[in-house]
Chains A and B, each alone.
Chain A
Amino acid sequence: MAAEVDTKKRAQGEGDQGLIVKPMYTAARQFMKSLVRPSTIVYPFERLEDPKFRGEVRVASGKPIGVGEVWDNYRGVHALNINTCISCNLCAFSCPDLCIDMVTVPGGDPKHPKKCPEIDYGKCSYCGFCSDACPEGCLTMTTRYELSVTKRSDMVYSPQKMFDQFQRKLPMNPIRLARPANEDAILLDAPLCIGCNACSRDCPTNCITMLDIPKGTPKPGEKPAKRIWKEPVINDSDCVRCGTCISVCPKECLFWGTHT
């Protein structure tokens, strides 16, 4: 086969010739090439992500070596826009390392406190699932990668600290995942609903409204229901599919499914 011939030929072609001349020559050639400027990037002084420096990086010898303009997608420290965060919990749910806690931040009303993610970078694996899951695009990953600290507690980034990252206007990871066209929706198993309003109360996007349902005509022999009956109606276009309503439903009457 062609490949077999290749390896053998290379073995005979490159070996058994001139003792150590070839490696010495190769090393000397590299020496001459890197005499003016070795390919290394002098890290604290030159940074690949620095826009000024990006242009100088080439895939060639005698220059700082690297593939230019690769930096935007980098998954580094998170930035959080507190103002647009809707406290949907999705980042915390999607985190495989369980490093995100939802903590209360000022801004919510006392009954429904506003909660934003707090990330423990001692556990974080920078997988980016949280920013992928964020429906509002308020939790993104920046290109910042230096976060050495002297205390372990400094590795926990509060929402405010991540908001500072946001305000530094670092290049953000531009990739936003499109939501799938035929996403599952939240469906109601109506006969189980007791109309308790919990889902509507806790919905972060306020897309659940409790609507009156017509009282069914009682069957013969039954008493008509006495209280006003309400059940949730979910506005699918506003819903971010966070599942909060499912979690709070006391009767387990909400579930994932597709509209038929």
Chain B
Amino acid sequence: MSEMWINMGPQHPMTHGLWNLRVRIDGERILDVDPEMGYLHRGIEKISEDRHYNEVITLMDRTCYVAGIAWEHLYVQAAEKALGIAPTERSDWIRMMSEEFQRLASHIMWYAAFVQDLGLMSPFLYGMRDRDLILDLFQSYTGGRLTYEYMRVGGVRNDVPEGFTHRAREVLDWLEPRFVEYDRLCMGSDIFRRRCDDLGVLKANDCVRLGVTGPMLRSAGSKRDLRKDRPYSRYSQVEFDVATADSADVTGRYLVRMEEMRQSVRILRQVLDWLDSHPGPVLADHLPRWLGAPYAPIGREAYLLKRNYPKGVGLSAIEEPHGEACAYVVNEGGEHPYRVKFRSPVFANLSAAHHYLVGYHVADIPPIMGSVDVCVGEVDR
């Protein structure tokens, strides 16, 4: 068979979203790859310029559909910096809890999809089953299962309901033995190890050069985690370890994510204990009216001009489940942000596809791309 280009995508079981991986192959060997993104572009950054500060939060849930609340957290932090508002302490802890739950949900979702790419269906359903419990928890305090619209500039919408921490601990107790099960199905399987070892190798210096972050970077042995390196929210007050592996391959990424889930459970237990003993307000006072919902926004902007608005810019970076995400909000005075810009970790991770795909087999594309944990919503925004 001579060389040929094949299009994997935009609709392809491997892509997990809407993007196109053009692959030049010779038989089963990959000679060249060319990722094409942009099929899911919704102009979220541009739409944000026409929304109140709080209304942008509804877009954040749609940015990444498996890690909505992490993106809410990211944006809300940047907006708070731009507006000069500080969240209350309790709301900050609740945000941290939400982000860790989201990390769990996202990693479990990743696990389910990744193992299914290898042809193994049952972990997919185990993963979906266990993720559903976390979504249940989200529903019990945010009101949504996937699009939470929970955080607000200056805090969160509401406090967690009574008995929530108890239920959350139940779920964590259920999840921990499941991780052992997950490991048995994957790392305990000889076929899995043979498929994934030494696959999609991307060394640490290449990761840094290409802007690859998150579990991919940590799997190469680099201890880079924004939660530790630049603690935001209240991460400096909880104990956890940064999960790393040194093989820089698919197995390493698997191990890093599994360990991160365990660390998330560890963080969550501390956060739940804190929440039990520290009641308090969850929304800051002195919120300017022109933030928009939940307080009544105003109809016509022209009448606002008499106000003396604070101006500023806000930059925030968080360790999103997929990697390091960054938000930049420019507040030029006015009820809408002047400019919102996001840095998507998956975009960088995907763009480096050439460096970790070429030389492997066609059959290796699903596990390698699966180990990247693609979420096209945030790639294209």
Contacts and interface: CB of A to CB of B under 8 A. Distances in A.
A and B touching (Cβ–Cβ under 8 A): yes
Interface in B184-198: 184-193
B289 A67 contact: no
B285 interface: yes
B296 A180 contact: no
Contact of A1 (B242, B255, B302): B242
A243 to B, nearest CB: 4
Interface in A1-30: 1-4, 6-8, 10-11, 14-23, 25-27, 30
Contacts of B189: 20, 22-23
Interface in A190-244: 240-243
Given A3-B263, A26-B181, A255-B307, A129 B55 contact: yes
B335 to A, nearest CB: 11
A129 B244 contact: no
B190 A19 contact: yes
B244 A7 contact: yes
The interface centre, meaning the residue of A60, A127, A241 with most chain B CB atoms within 10 A of its CB, is A127
A180 B295 contact: yes
The interface centre, meaning the residue of A67, A71, A126 with most chain B CB atoms within 10 A of its CB, is A67
A89 B285 CA distance: 25
B289 A256 contact: yes
B309 to A, nearest CB: 12
Contacts of A141: 143
B188 A14 contact: yes
A247 interface: yes
A16 B197 CA distance: 12
Contacts of B242: 1, 3
Contacts of B157: 128, 132, 175, 177
Interface stretch (A108-116, A159-167, A181-189): A181-189
Nearest to B219: A7
Contact of B143 (A26, A27, A39, A73): A73
Contact of B185 (A23, A94, A257): A23
A39 B286 CA distance: 47
B187 A75 contact: no
Contacts of B292: 94, 129
B244 A66 contact: no
A175 B223 contact: no
B193 A15 contact: yes
A77 interface: no
Contacts of A170: none
Interface in B248-299: 251-252, 255-256, 258-259, 262-263, 283, 285-290, 292-299
Contacts of B132: 65-66
Given A20-B191, A22-B184, A184 B289 contact: yes
B232 interface: no
The interface centre, meaning the residue of A74, A141, A182 with most chain B CB atoms within 10 A of its CB, is A74
A73 B187 contact: no
Nearest to B284: A180
A104 interface: no
Contacts of B58: 96-97, 125, 127, 129
B140 A175 contact: no
Interface residues of A, number: 76
Interface in B294-338: 294-300, 302-304, 306-307
B161 interface: yes
A135 interface: yes
Given A7-B255, A25-B184, A126-B144, A70 B136 contact: yes
Contacts of B252: 7
A93 interface: yes
A90 interface: yes
Interface in A117-148: 125-130, 132-133, 135, 141
Contacts of A22: 184-185, 188-189
B183 A241 contact: no
A252 interface: yes
A75 B143 contact: yes
Contacts of A18: 188
Contact of B255 (A11, A40, A68): A11
A68 B286 CA distance: 37
A65 B191 CA distance: 31
Contacts of B188: 14-15, 17-18, 21-23, 26
Nearest to B189: A23
Given A1-B244, A10-B187, A133 B294 contact: yes
Contacts of A90: 296
Given A21-B188, A180-B283, A183-B295, 9 more contacts: A11-B245, A16-B193, A59-B133, A68-B167, A75-B144, A94-B293, A126-B149, A179-B295, A255-B307
25 contacts: A3-B241, A3-B243, A6-B241, A6-B259, A15-B188, A21-B188, A27-B185, A65-B129, A67-B137, A70-B136, A71-B139, A73-B140, A94-B296, A97-B58, A125-B147, A127-B149, A127-B293, A129-B54, A132-B294, A243-B298, A243-B299, A246-B303, A247-B303, A252-B302, A256-B307
Interface of A: 1-4, 6-8, 10-11, 14-23, 25-27, 30, 39-40, 59-60, 65-75, 89-90, 93-94, 96-97, 125-130, 132-133, 135, 141, 173, 175, 177, 179-184, 189, 240-243, 246-247, 249, 252, 254-257
